[in-house]
């Protein structure tokens, strides 16, 4: 509460600018809690895609990292998309380049290529389809190919491989350092300290961590699970900001976390959001040919998972 009082004037300024500029603000779950206060929608990568598509606003201010803002632009070529901190990157997205992807395609010519949404626009354009941590298993299951190259996250690829039979999942070598470095020892200690708590883990963690989990899912699914579960206490293993969102969604429950901070996600501040609105910065562009191919990969994902943009996701589209 005290924290929000400190930001009241800035929050009012942002809300007024947002209205004036016919903008919406989309924010990833890992954002700072004060960013939630100005956001029209807070969610995971998949929910943010849906919200971007459903929006009628002319401008989208994207509070997340660069690949997310690029995805919003790819899905909304006619809208102006802004990322308040241009240097908010993603170590996982940057862990693979086109040459490595093409080498994998040459080595496995019959394989479908599925890239995690945490990939650059160029990588998305070069793949058959896209997945998120919410739908990776479903996408892999529904593709007809017996061999599937999943990139860049090897932990997510391994998680998918363990869920489906009769298909060869070929991983790349990337990891999200934030999740990959969360080891089982700290989690076992947290379980000892809170023996009644359910353990919720993000699929970008290593298999020896996933094995300990009561629930594995994307950030939005983690929150849904905690809300619907009969349990009262949860240990959440992912980026540190996530428990703020979970606590907000289920204030009557208790959350503990074993986590790491993603400094790129935290580069978005209220001041930067205000400046993004005020000075129209920093506009995200994706080269039209790249955007067209990446959109086709997204459409394939929507077709496989029968997803439709959910209009209700955006509370106050301008
Ligand atoms: S938490 Fe990992 S995957 Fe997510 S933005 Fe940060 S580095 Fe990228």
What secondary structure does DSSP assign to the chain, as a single string? Answer: -HHHHHHHHHHHHHHHHHHHTTEEEEEETTS-HHHHTT-SEEE-HHHHHHHHHH---SEEEEES-HHHHHHHHHH-TTSEEE-S-TT---TTGGG--HHHHHHHHHHSTT-EEEEESSS-HHHHHTSSEEE-TTTHHHHHHHS--SEEEEESBHHHHHHHHHH-SS-EEEE-SB--HHHHT--HHHHHHHHHHSTTPEEEE-TTS-HHHHTT-SEE--HHHHHHHHHH-S-SEEEEEEETTHHHHHHHH-TTSEEEEEEE--TTGGG--HHHHHHHHHHT--B----HHHHHHHHHHHHHHHHHHT----GGG-SS--
Higher model confidence: residue 174 or residue 46?
174
For the Cβ of 264 lying below 6 angstroms from any atom of ligand 1, the answer is yes
Ligand 1: does its nearest atom lie under 6 Å from the Cβ of 117? no
pLDDT of the residue at 315: 40
* Residue 239 CB–ligand 1 contact under 6 Å: yes
Residue 100 clears pLDDT 50, i.e. is over it: yes
- What's the average model confidence in pLDDT over 258-287? 98
* Mean pLDDT confidence for 44-67: 93
Pairing outcome for strands 59-63 and 23-28: parallel
**pLDDT category, 5, cuts 50, 70, 90?**
confident
pLDDT at 116: 97
Distance 32 CA to ligand 1 centre (A): 14
pLDDT at 308: 52
Predicted pLDDT at 307: 66
* Atom of ligand 1 at shortest range from CA of 67: 5
Q: Which of 92, 115, 174, 261 to mutate to test the pocket of ligand 1 (most atoms within 8 A of CB)?
A: 92
Q: What percent of the chain has pLDDT over 90?
A: 91
In this prediction, residue 45 carries a pLDDT of 87
pLDDT > 70 in the chain, percent: 95
Domains of the chain: 2-88+266-285 (3.40.50.10800), 93-175 (3.40.50.10800), 178-263 (3.40.50.10800)
119 lines ligand 1 (CB under 6 A): no
Which residue reads 């040919």 in tokens? 289
Q: Is the CB of 90 under 6 A from ligand 1?
A: yes
What mean pLDDT, rounded, does the chain reach? 94
pLDDT in the model for residue 4 = 80
Q: Is the CB of 314 under 6 A from ligand 1?
A: no
Most ligand 1 atoms within 8 A of CB, residue of 177, 265, 266, 267 to mutate: 265
Confidence (pLDDT) at 316: 32
Output the CA 136–ligand 1 centroid distance in Å: 17
From the CA of 91, how far away is ligand 1's center (Å)? 6
Mean of pLDDT values over 83-108: 98
The per-residue pLDDT for range 213-257, each reduced to its tens digit, is 999 999 989 999 999 999 999 999 999 999 999 999 999 999 999
43, 176, 181, 182: residue to mutate for ligand 1 pocket, most atoms within 8 A of CB: 176
CB 126, CB 101: distance < 8 Å: yes
Q: Is the pLDDT of residue 46 over 80?
A: yes
Question: What is the spatial distance between Cα 32 and Cα 220, in angstroms, rounded to a whole number?
Answer: 16
Ligand 1 atom at minimal distance to the Cα of residue 93: 8
- Among the residue ranges 11-20, 249-258, 267-276, 299-308, the one predicted with the least confidence is 299-308
Q: Encode pLDDT of 150-197 as tens digits.
A: 999 999 999 999 999 999 999 999 999 999 999 999 999 999 999 999
Q: Is the pLDDT of residue 313 over 90?
A: no
Return the ligand 1 atom nearest residue 176 CA. Answer: 2
Would the CB of 104 count as within 6 Å of ligand 1? no
For ligand 1, atom 2, which residue shows the shortest CA distance? 176
Considering only residues 279 and 3, tell me which one the structure prediction assigns the higher pLDDT. Answer: 279
pTM of the predicted model as reported, rounded to 2 decimal places: 0.93
**Ligand 1 in reach of 262 Cβ (< 6 A):** yes
So what's the pLDDT on residue 12?
97
Q: Can you read off the two tokens belonging to residue 261?
A: 């901070």
Banded model confidence at residue 2, pLDDT cuts 50, 70, 90: low
> How confident is the model at residue 83, as a pLDDT?
98
Does 91 sit in the ligand 1 pocket, CB within 6 Å? Answer: yes
Q: Choose between 46 and 313: higher pLDDT.
A: 46
Q: With beta carbons less than 8 A apart as the criterion, state whether 218 and 133 touch.
A: yes
Could you tell me if the CB of 50 is within 6 A of ligand 1? no
d(CA 224, CA 126): 33
Token match 């009769």: residue?
A: 166
């Amino acid at each position: 509460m005290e924290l929000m009082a400190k930001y009241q004037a800035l929050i009012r300024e942002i809300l007024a600018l947002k209205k004036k500029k016919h903008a919406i603000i989309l924010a990833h779950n890992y954002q700072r809690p004060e960013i939630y206060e100005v956001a029209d929608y807070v969610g995971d990568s998949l929910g943010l895609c849906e919200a971007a598509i459903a929006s009628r606003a002319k401008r989208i201010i994207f509070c997340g990292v660069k690949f997310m803002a690029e995805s919003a632009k790819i899905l909304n070529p006619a809208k102006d998309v802004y990322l308040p901190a241009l240097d908010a990157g993603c170590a996982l997205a940057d862990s693979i380049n086109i040459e490595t992807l093409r080498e994998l395609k040459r080595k496995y010519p019959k394989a479908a290529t599925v890239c995690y949404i945490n990939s650059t626009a160029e990588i998305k354009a070069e793949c058959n389809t896209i997945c998120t941590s919410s739908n990776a298993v479903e996408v892999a299951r529904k593709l007809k190919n017996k061999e599937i190259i999943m990139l860049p996250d090897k932990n997510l690829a391994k998680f998918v491989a363990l869920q489906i039979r009769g298909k060869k999942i070929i991983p790349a070598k990337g990891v999200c350092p934030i999740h990959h470095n969360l080891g089982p020892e700290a989690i076992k200690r947290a379980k000892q300290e809170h023996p009644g708590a359910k353990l919720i883990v993000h699929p970008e963690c290593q298999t020896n961590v996933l094995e300990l989990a009561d629930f594995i899912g994307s950030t939005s699914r983690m929150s849904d699970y905690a809300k619907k579960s009969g349990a009262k206490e949860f240990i959440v293993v992912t980026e540190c900001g996530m428990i703020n969102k979970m606590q907000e969604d289920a204030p009557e429950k208790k959350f503990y976390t074993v986590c790491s901070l993603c400094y790129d996600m935290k580069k978005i501040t209220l001041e930067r959001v205000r400046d993004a609105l005020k000075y129209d910065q920093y506009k995200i562009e994706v080269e039209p040919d790249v955007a067209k191919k990446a959109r086709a990969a997204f459409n394939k994902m929507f077709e496989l998972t029968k997803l439709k943009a959910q209009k209700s996701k955006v509370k106050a589209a301008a």
